[in-house]
């Protein structure tokens, strides 16, 4: 079949694909930029630079000097160290809050929290017939849909909250059907 005999829809689809390709490549390039490691703090880089000192005594003196400076910076809170477990705990504590991603807790895709499981500390009805539920972890969630829960949440009941679309979340009380919620604090 020659180009003149192809259906018009096939030619339009091909043209659309060619027009969309640069945008897709640009989006991929931007996504790759976001995956770059955060810059190494100057104090840590100076410690790393000690490895390049050829003389053994000089290298040891360099390491001693830079570790002391790093320890001093930590005591002064000029630099903070966070391990993966602490970063995951912090991410979990911030789950549901609408905060910008500064990439201070590591790679967002690898450590992203998709859901949390906790228990009810207290619950109270809201004016619109929903619930405001305080969790054992200190977070407070408010029902934003009109679904009725057959039984009121009680302290100690297990809750699972998972990310939904458009910045909202689903809360399931002990495996019952989910309600849509937002985090209040």
pLDDT of residue 13: 56
Residue 124 contacts residue 110 (beta carbons within 8 Å): no
- Its pTM stands at 0.50
pLDDT of residue 158: 92
Tokens 């990439």 locate to 103
pLDDT of residue 1: 52
Q: What is the mean pLDDT of each run of 10 residues along the chain (185 residues)?
A: 56 54 57 61 85 90 89 83 67 57 54 77 87 87 84 88 81 85 82
CA pair distance 12, 9, nearest whole angstrom: 5
pLDDT of residue 90: 61
Please name which of 125, 116, 95, 90 lies closest in space to residue 172, comparing C-alpha atoms.
116
pLDDT of residue 107: 54
pLDDT of residue 61: 92
């Amino acid at each position: 079949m020659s180009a003149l005999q192809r259906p018009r829809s096939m030619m339009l689809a091909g043209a659309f694909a060619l027009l969309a390709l640069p945008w897709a490549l640009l989006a991929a390039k931007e996504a790759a930029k976001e995956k770059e490691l955060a810059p190494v703090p100057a104090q840590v880089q100076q410690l790393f630079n000690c490895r390049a000192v050829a003389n053994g005594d000089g290298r040891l003196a360099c390491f001693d000097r830079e570790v002391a400076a790093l320890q001093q910076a930590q005591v002064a809170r000029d630099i903070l160290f966070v391990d993966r477990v602490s970063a995951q705990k912090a991410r979990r504590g911030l789950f549901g809050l609408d905060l910008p991603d500064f990439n201070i807790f590591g790679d967002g895709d690898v450590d992203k929290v998709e859901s949390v499981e906790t228990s009810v500390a207290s619950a109270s009805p809201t004016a619109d017939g929903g619930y405001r539920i305080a969790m054992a972890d200190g977070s407070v969630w408010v029902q934003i849909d009109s679904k009725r829960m057959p039984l009121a949440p009680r302290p100690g009941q297990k809750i699972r909250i998972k990310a939904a679309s458009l910045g909202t979340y689903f809360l399931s009380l002990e495996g019952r059907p989910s309600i849509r919620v937002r985090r209040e604090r």
